[in-house]
Amino acid sequence: MIGLFRTGFVVVSGEASDALRAQASGTVKAIRGYVAQHMWGAHGTIPDKVKAHNFLAIGRKAAILSRYDLPDGQSLRVVTSADRQFTTVKLETEE
């Protein structure tokens, strides 16, 4: 996938995978969809201050954060590391 920035390796927590599996769409399809939104700057339900940081971070060495609300009321966090080596997908309630 090509986007505004590289995501590196995508790592999905077991809890996030379970939550996405419970949705009507498949787990892999759902993960690809959320990561694609993240890569294209559609950062979901985060404060405007974080959105502004994300757009500056795209051209700098800073992490990029997105948050998406799932149909079951849980929230999914997608975070790309500052070095663009990894993107983690996990539930907001996870440490």
23-62, pLDDT tens digit by residue? Answer: 766 788 889 999 999 999 999 999 999 999 999 999 888 9
DSSP 29-59: HHHHHHHHHHHTT--BS--HHHHHHHHHHHT
Q: How confident is the model at residue 13 (pLDDT cuts 50, 70, 90)?
A: very high
Angle, vertex CA 41, rays to CA 78 and CA 22, nearest 5: 40
Q: How confident is the model at residue 12 (pLDDT cuts 50, 70, 90)?
A: very high
- Max Cα distance, the chain (Å): 37
Q: Using an 8 Å Cβ cutoff, are 19 and 76 in contact?
A: yes
